[in-house]
Structure 1
Amino acid sequence: MANYRDSIHSRAAIAGHPLHPMLIHFPVAALTALLPVDLAHLWTLDDFWWRAGVWLAGVGAVGGWVASLFGLIDLLTVREIRQKITAWCHAILAVMMLSLASLNWLLRLQDDGQNIHLWALYLSAITALLIALAAYLGGRLVYEHAVGVDLDKV
């Protein structure tokens, strides 16, 4: 268990509150919701679900890249974070996930859902799996390594 000496502070923070974990919730929610929305589109073939998927993919991809910039700042500028294999695995999974999410969004922008709905579903499913893995590793960084946690105030 971490003790007071083990607290690792974020450099990308406002008043000591790390920005990456604050910003990541909306993109994660959007990209996770994309999978059931794609299933609803496949089941009903209703254009509403396709349009909802385009928006969710866009919010997830753009928001994820913005949030990842703050995580990258911490990874590159905080030596204690850089030394953690968990941090590098989290970052690599996040880049893979955001690359697939961005591809998914770009494909959706160029199609009305009739030609690529199975590809969109496939990309959404892989993205959701990668989100789960990256979230697990992000949780380990916080709870096991005290990244971004001010243990002096606990």
Structure 2
Amino acid sequence: MSEMYPRSTASIAGHPIHPMLVPIPIVCFVGTLLTDVAYWSTANMQWANFSVWLLTVGLVASVFAGLAGAIDFFGDRSIRRLRPAWIHAVGNALALSLAIVNAFVHSRDAYTSVVPTGLILSAAVVLILIVTGWNGAALIHRHRVGVQPGERA
């Protein structure tokens, strides 16, 4: 008697791609918040530069992670029936939108690029990622999305 779990449509050799890619933008967006705080504390312009670099890498990586996530989301109807999937998808789209706005804010000169708007946007993105990450973990560990029967999540 084999139990079927929602499958990951975007996968390589049976391994879902989305969870492989999401750590990159998460680390970059958390790093952006940390470097914004460092700039706010020190006024050393290099911290603001780090924020822009981290935001750029995070945005590029999130396009690939988001594409893999969208393929999974739209590729299996049973995933779309799960409430955490909607929270995860809509929340990540919101976080990505705020990160794009944050990139434009960070393109301004020095102090105005970080304080206060850039810092607030960076914190908002990280807070949203905490919620969406929790729901993404629920998809894997509770709802077994992308987990083969008999495998441990």
Gaps of 5+ in 2: none
Aligned length: 151
> Is 1:51–2:49 an aligned residue pair?
yes
- 1:64 match: 62
- 2:96 match: 98
For the 8 Å contact 1:58–1:102, the answer to whether it is kept is: no
Q: What is the distance in 1 between the residues matched to 2:126 and 2:118? A: 12
- In the TM superposition, residue 81 of structure 1 has moved relative to its aligned partner by 0.4
Question: For 2:84, which of 69, 86, 90 is the aligned residue?
Answer: 86
> Is 1:133–2:131 an aligned residue pair?
yes
RMSD: 1.5
Relative to the length of structure 2, the TM-score reads: 0.93
**Identity of aligned pairs, percent?**
34
**1:152 partner SS:** coil
Relative to the length of structure 1, the TM-score reads: 0.92
After TM superposition, the structure 1 stretch with the greater mean CA deviation from structure 2, 97-106 or 4-13, is 4-13
List 4+ stretches of structure 1 deviating above 3 A: none
1:121-141 superposed Cα distances (whole Å, 9 cap, x missing partner): 000000010010000000000
- 1:114 match: 111
Question: For 1:34, which of 32, 55, 64 is the aligned residue?
Answer: 32
Q: What is the distance in 2 between the residues matched to 1:4 and 1:136? A: 28
Gaps of 5+ in 1: none
- 1:25 match: 23
- In the TM superposition, residue 46 of structure 1 has moved relative to its aligned partner by 0.5
- In the TM superposition, residue 6 of structure 1 has moved relative to its aligned partner by 4.1
For the 8 Å contact 1:142–1:148, the answer to whether it is kept is: yes
For the 8 Å contact 1:93–1:134, the answer to whether it is kept is: yes
1:78-117 superposed Cα distances (whole Å, 9 cap, x missing partner): 01101111101110100000100111112223x1322232
Q: What is the distance in 1 between the residues matched to 2:112 and 2:103? A: 14
Q: What is the distance in 1 between the residues matched to 2:144 and 2:16? A: 12
Paired residue type of 2:92: A
For the 8 Å contact 1:27–1:61, the answer to whether it is kept is: yes
Q: What is the distance in 1 between the residues matched to 2:89 and 2:28? A: 19
